[in-house]
Amino acid sequence: MQSTVSAVELATPTESSSPAVSWGPIIAGAFAAATLTFVLMLLGSGLGLSMVSPWSGSGASVTTFAVSTAVWLIVVQWLSSGFGGYLTGRLRTRWVGIHTDETYFRDTAHGFLAWALATLLMVGVLGSALTSVIGGGVQAASTVVSGAAQGASTVAASSGAGEQAGDATSYFIDSLFRPADASRLSAPGAEGDAAATAQASRILIASAAEGQVSDEDKAYLAQLVASRTGLSAADATARVDAMLARVADAKVKAQQAADTARKAGATFSLIGALSLVIGAFIASAAAVLGGRQRDDDEALFLSRR
């Protein structure tokens, strides 16, 4: 009976006491990858700033800059993930009594975990910057939708000309009521000017909400301009039409800027996700390569002893 029990116990596989995950090499590889990523990002920022120029016609174009940024993000992930994954594979201890396929899987998992930890470290360091870049497009788009009404509301709520001077809509209002004779500015009637300005502001608020200025409101604006500036009815109507055209042009430019920011944010997000996927693959493959070289070098050393 005792011999039978002993044979059964010998035939039963025993679980290894050591865990399958070696966190020491993973942490070391992650810190190495995160540090190299930070260095390469600083290098890329320096190269990017050397490409752009505030002078018209100088420096790289927007397309060239965007393509260069995309390529650099992939290169950064390639180098840092490969370096960190290779260190993770080389620094682990040799697994004894483990099948080759299991060793391959563990090395792959170790490289992936090192990449994941390095990514989390970089998100913690650069999280605010990435959030501002990605959210810039969404914020710009929402600003275009609500900015006109908010700006006009600010003008309507302000009663003094000094408070309105810093608002973009105030410039259009001022240009609308600019008198033909500058000496009229010193003439009495500040209360009437403030009332006319408030009425024009409320008309712009309503037009911003509806998307257009009605013919009735446009005619009333022309009457206000004619009464406050001394212009003829035809000149006042022409001034109103010119002001509304400038407002529409400013709105189109703001929408174009918001759309450009939105596209840039979406492109950056997609390229960033692609570079991270490439980094995960490179880190896993590099860990397998490093672990295999580590086992081969140890086996070669033991065979020569």
Q: How far is CA 74 from the centre of its chain?
A: 17
Cα 186 to Cα 125, 165, 182, 189, 190, distances in angstroms: 58, 18, 8, 9, 9
> What residue spans define the domains of the chain?
23-142+267-304, 147-180+188-254
**Which tokens in the block code for residue 172?**
């259009």
Cα radius of gyration (the chain): 34
Let me know the angle formed at the C-alpha of 274 by 280 and 114, rounded to the nearest 5 degrees: 20
Q: How far is CA 211 from the centre of its chain?
A: 30
d(CA 227, CA 181): 13
Are the beta carbons of 68 and 107 closer than 8 angstroms? no
**Which tokens in the block code for residue 149?**
């009404």
Are the beta carbons of 286 and 89 closer than 8 angstroms? yes
Q: DSSP class of residue 16? A: P
Nearest to 280, CA basis, from 82, 99, 94, 112: 112
pLDDT tens-place values along the chain, 305 residues long: 445 545 544 445 555 566 788 899 999 999 999 999 989 888 888 877 666 666 656 666 666 777 788 888 889 999 999 999 999 999 988 887 788 888 899 999 999 999 999 999 888 877 655 555 445 544 544 444 444 444 444 443 443 434 433 455 666 676 676 665 544 544 545 556 677 777 777 777 777 767 777 788 788 888 888 877 778 888 888 888 888 888 888 888 888 888 888 887 788 888 888 999 999 999 999 999 999 988 888 778 778 87
- Residue with token string 């810093």: 166
Let me know the angle formed at the C-alpha of 157 by 152 and 163, rounded to the nearest 5 degrees: 90
